[in-house]
Structure 1
Amino acid sequence: MQRGQMAQKREGDEPKIELFVKASSDAESVGNCPFSQRLFMILWLKEAKFLLTTVDMKRAPDVLKDLAPGSQPPFLVFNDEVKTDINKIEEFLEDKLAPPKYPKLCCRYKESLTAGEDIFRKFSAYIKNPVPALNEVLEKKFLATMVKLNMYFETPLPHELDQNPNASESTRLYLDGDSLTLADCNLLPKLNIVKVVCKVYRKFDITAELKGLKRYLDNAYKRDEFRLSCPKDVEVVSAYQSVVKYLKK
């Protein structure tokens, strides 16, 4: 278990926050876990002071069994209160770390919350498929979810049309606008895995044809909150090595 301070010393009435995440194979950096990265990003975007603890599950210390018996990382300790449900942690942090001290991360459009929701499931079916004859069908289903998400990024949102009624294409940076939101914290870690795994095991890149999606990822990788919370590519590749099917005929 490795602990690293993600902020300066707490001041005044700052809550005491510790985020426990899955460790990498070297047991020090962040491992391949989109749920861990999701919470990591939320706390970073909230500009909260927190302690990040990586947990090597092969040698999980007894203290974890005392903190969250039966649970797997990620989980959160907030002022000595343990939280283990990912969605509830997100809601809790949005409620407790609220304006004016902390930025709001909720979306203005409900469609942003569900954009890309099928991608990871279709990707998993595609990448884990052991039957060569089914590969083309599964690939098409997976790509269809990418095209659908791309369309969401290319379509102007209402506030963009308010600013320019003649806009035919969106220029926004992220899912819900020009600020990262809870929806991005959920989607981006999954897209990073998709990008890395598909490139290595399927020789597939997100092409320039998916203009909106490519713009989104390019913008996201410029943000420290996303880029620096990503696991190393080698961690992602290694995590999928045992489940990916090579489709040898």
Structure 2
Amino acid sequence: MAAHIEMYIRGPYDKVNTRTGACPTCHEYTLAFSVLQEAMPNLLTTLDIVPFTPENPPPILKEYGNGKRFPVLFVKEGKDSKGIDMSNTVCDTTDEIEGLLDRFNCTRLHGRRDSVEEAEAEKAFDSLYVKFMAYIKNPDKDAKGILRELMKLNEHLGRQQEKGLRFAVEDHLTLADCYVLPKVHHIRIAGKAYRDFDIPLDLIHLWRYLENCYNQKIFVRSCPADKDIVEFYRAKTPIKPNMEATKVMLGPVTLTLDVPAEVAQHPPRENGENGD
């Protein structure tokens, strides 16, 4: 029996529940389960993404984390890769969600314990988001820490690109990409709005990676609007955002998914219907 999963994620700041919100963890797992569905359509046939607001969670969520944990997954029906029934399974912690991913045994989503390549990729961005949060919270903090982490990631991606690989581990999206891509995208949007920070153009491998990822349909479908990303950090920093520094004033559904012309690949690599 193929699986049917409902994933409840945090919605946008303006409570329009037709859009995905900017919670990075929700984005990571939306990407991961989208990759799973793309890789194993016979095991995961239906993936319903349901945005909601913490102030008014659906009745089905009220007994799980009081609407404070994101995301919450319900396996409506289905069996794992060993044929064991998972119907009515509920996951509302990251450990439980990781365990659910493991039950599908998808090679594209093997964690660092099961893949040396995945472990190496994750080491390249282990401290990236921590450094970013420290930078965005403190107006007096310089950018040296976040720049070091971006350079480390750039070096890893450069080694991958020398092998002819577009992404962090393989030539298709894997778990490492699901973890790091939302973080880098948040750095690009929120970093500009709050600290007038730009990812340096000389980090060419990182920019080429972003271009490859932005060409993936599953990323575009899961990506929060620029304004939602900016609003996500408003309560996390004393700094006021400079909305004019980004494109967010153009509207709530603006998505900055381009790369500077100086680093764009010409022509971009052609992708298939699913972006692979």
Aligned AA (1:185): C
Aligned AA (2:21): G
Distance 1:203 1:142 in 2: 13
1:144 is matched with which residue? 148
Q: 2:63 aligned to 47, 61, 66, which one?
A: 66
Aligned AA (1:214): W
Distance 1:182 1:45 in 2: 9
2:136 is matched with which residue? 127
Residues 45-54 or 231-240, more deviating: 45-54
Q: 1:223 aligned to 193, 216, 219, which one?
A: 216
Distance 1:63 1:91 in 2: 22
Distance 2:48 2:227 in 1: 25
Report deviation, 1:69: 4.6
Do the aligned residues in 2 keep the contact of 1:108 with 1:176 (CA within 8 Å)?
no
* Equivalence map 1:99-110=2 (5 Å): 104-106=108-110, 107=115, 109=117, 110=119
2:4 is matched with which residue? 16
Unaligned runs of 5+ in 2: 38-43, 76-86, 241-276
Q: TM-score, normalised by structure 1?
A: 0.78
Aligned AA (1:124): M
1:62-119, Cα deviation, whole Å (9 max, x unpaired): 3311355575220111121111122431232232x346xxx64225512013221111
Do the aligned residues in 1 keep the contact of 2:69 with 2:93 (CA within 8 Å)?
no
Do the aligned residues in 2 keep the contact of 1:21 with 1:53 (CA within 8 Å)?
yes
Identity %: 29
Aligned AA (2:154): N
Distance 1:244 1:155 in 2: 35
2:17 is matched with which residue? 27
Q: CA RMSD in A?
A: 2.1
* Equivalence map 1:87-106=2 (5 Å): 87-95=95-103, 97-98=104-105, 104-106=108-110
Distance 1:117 1:124 in 2: 13
1:168-222, Cα deviation, whole Å (9 max, x unpaired): x444211002111111111111111111011222222223300111111111011
Q: TM-score, normalised by structure 2?
A: 0.71
Query: Relative to 1, partners in 2 of residues 1:71 and 1:128: Cα closer, same or farther, differing over 3 Å?
Result: closer
Matched, 1:111 2:120: yes
Do the aligned residues in 1 keep the contact of 2:17 with 2:53 (CA within 8 Å)?
yes
Query: Relative to 1, partners in 2 of residues 1:17 and 1:245: Cα closer, same or farther, differing over 3 Å?
Result: same
Q: 2:184 aligned to 173, 191, 196, which one?
A: 191
Do the aligned residues in 1 keep the contact of 2:192 with 2:198 (CA within 8 Å)?
yes
Do the aligned residues in 2 keep the contact of 1:113 with 1:183 (CA within 8 Å)?
yes
Distance 1:30 1:94 in 2: 25
SS in 2 for 1:58: coil
2:32 is matched with which residue? 42
2:253 is matched with which residue? none
SS in 1 for 2:55: helix
* Equivalence map 1:149-164=2 (5 Å): 149-156=153-160
Matched, 1:56 2:56: no
Do the aligned residues in 1 keep the contact of 2:54 with 2:68 (CA within 8 Å)?
no
Query: Relative to 1, partners in 2 of residues 1:60 and 1:70: Cα closer, same or farther, differing over 3 Å?
Result: closer
1:166 is matched with which residue? none
RCO higher in structure (CA 8 A, sep ≥6): 1
1:85 is matched with which residue? 93
1:109-162, Cα deviation, whole Å (9 max, x unpaired): 1201322111100010011004x3xx22xx111111111111111125xxx8xx
Report deviation, 1:41: 1.0
SS in 2 for 1:29: coil
Distance 1:27 1:119 in 2: 30
Distance 2:151 2:90 in 1: 39
1:18-52, Cα deviation, whole Å (9 max, x unpaired): 11100112233111111111111111111231221
